[in-house]
Amino acid sequence: MKIDAHQHFWHYNKTDYVWMGPEHEVIRGDFLPADLEPLLDTIGFDGSIAVQARQMLQETEWLLSLAERSETVMGVVGWIDLRSEDAPAQIERFASNPKLVGVRHVVHDEPDDSFVLGAAFQRGIGLLQPAGLTYDLLLFPRHLRPSISLVDSFQHQQFVIDHIAKPEIAAGTLEPWAADLREIARRENVHCKLSGMVTEADHENWRSVDFTPYLDIVLEAFGAERVMIGSDWPVCTLAGAYEPVMQIVIDYVSRLSPQEARAILGENCARFYRLPDPDGTPRM
C-alpha cells in the first residue's frame, strides 16, 4: 500500500485562511478529494492522510466528513484545542471516529518559540496517547530543541515531524537543523515526514539534487523504518506540481532495498497512524 502521508483540503475563504497572502494566489481556491484522487492514481498511490489547515473544531468535523465519503482519505490529522479545559471532552467527541488518527497545532506560527513547553499545552498532549491519537509536530528548525524537551516528557506518545522541520533549503543551510534533528531522532517515538521540502527551496529553480543532502541526513537519523513520504498538496503547488514533487522521494528511495522503499512509500505511514489493513483488519 502506498500512502501520501500529508496533504490538505479546503474550501477557500479569506476569513478562515488568513495565512494565505497574495503570494499564495495559486492555492486560494477549493481543493477537495475529487481533485486529489486522479493525482494519486497517476503515481500509483492508494490514498492519503488529510491534515488540518484551520485551528477550529469545525475543521476536524469537516475533514472527518470528507473521509467518511472518500475511499482514498485513509485518515485525518485534525485540530483540538489542547490548551482548553474542554480538551478532554473534545477528544472524547472525536476520538471515537476511526478516521481520526492524530492531532496537530500550527506551532511554528506561535510567537513563543517554546510554545510546546507550556503547561496547558502539555496537559493536552498527555490526553492523546490514552485516546490512541498521534501528534504532528509542525516546526521550523528553531523549534526542534524545545520539542526535544516535549518528547522527553511524553515517551509513550507517538510524534511525527512534518516537512523535515523546514530547513532553509534555498540557502543550502544544514546547521543547526541537522544536529538538532539527529538529536530528536534518538527518541524512538519520533518519526519524520519527507514532505514540504519544495516550498523551502527556490520555487522556480529547484532540482531534485537540492534535496539529497537533507534526505540523507533524515534517513541517517531516523532510519528507513521511521520516515514517510508526503506531498503537502496543494501547498506544494506553490513550487511544483504534484507528480514531480512526489517523484523527489520516490526516486530517492529507489536506491534503497525494496523493503525499505515500501516502508517509506506507505507501510510506515499505515503503521504510525494505525490504519486498517487492506482487508479491513485493525492494526494493533
Grid cell digits, residue 265:
512509500
Q: What is the pLDDT of residue 15?
A: 81
Instruction: Tell whether 281 is covered by a domain.
Output: no
Q: Which domain holds residue 41?
A: 3-272
Instruction: Tell whether 284 is covered by a domain.
Output: no
DSSP state of 233: B
Q: What is the pLDDT of residue 284?
A: 42
Q: What is the pLDDT of residue 21?
A: 87
How many angstroms separate the CA atoms of 57 and 62, rounded?
A: 9
Instruction: Tell whether 12 is covered by a domain.
Output: yes
Instruction: Tell whether 278 is covered by a domain.
Output: no
Angle, helix 144-153 to helix 177-185, in steps of 10 degrees: 10
Q: pTM for this one? A: 0.96
Contact residues for 275 (Cβ-Cβ < 8 A; gap 6+): 3, 74, 75, 101, 269, 283
Q: What is the pLDDT along the chain (284 residues), one digit of tens a residue?
A: 999 999 999 999 878 887 888 889 999 999 999 999 999 999 999 999 999 999 999 999 999 999 999 999 999 999 999 999 999 999 999 999 999 999 999 999 999 999 999 999 999 999 999 999 999 999 999 999 999 999 999 999 999 999 999 999 999 999 999 999 999 999 999 999 999 999 999 999 999 999 999 999 999 999 999 999 999 999 999 999 999 999 999 999 999 999 999 999 999 999 999 998 765 555 34
Instruction: Tell whether 86 is covered by a domain.
Output: yes
Looking up residue 105, the CATH number of its domain turns out to be 3.20.20.140
Instruction: Tell whether 280 is covered by a domain.
Output: no
Backbone torsion region of residue 170, taken as left when φ is above 0, otherwise alpha when ψ lies between -120 and 50, otherwise beta: alpha
Instruction: Tell whether 99 is covered by a domain.
Output: yes
pLDDT (tens digit, 9 = 90+) per residue, 221-246?
999 999 999 999 999 999 999 999 99
Bridge partners, 49 (sequence order): 75
Grid cell digits, residue 112:
513563543
Amino acid (one-letter) located at 190: V
Evaluate whether 187 touches 152 at the Cβ level (below 8 Å). yes
- Dihedral pair phi/psi, residue 264, rounded to 5°: -70, -35
Buried-exposed string 82-118: b where 16+ CB fall within 10 A, e elsewhere: bbeeebeebbeebbebebbbbbbbebbeeeeeebbeb
Q: What is the pLDDT of residue 50?
A: 98
How many angstroms separate the CA atoms of 208 and 215, rounded?
A: 11
Instruction: Tell whether 108 is covered by a domain.
Output: yes
The total number of structural domains that make up the chain: 1
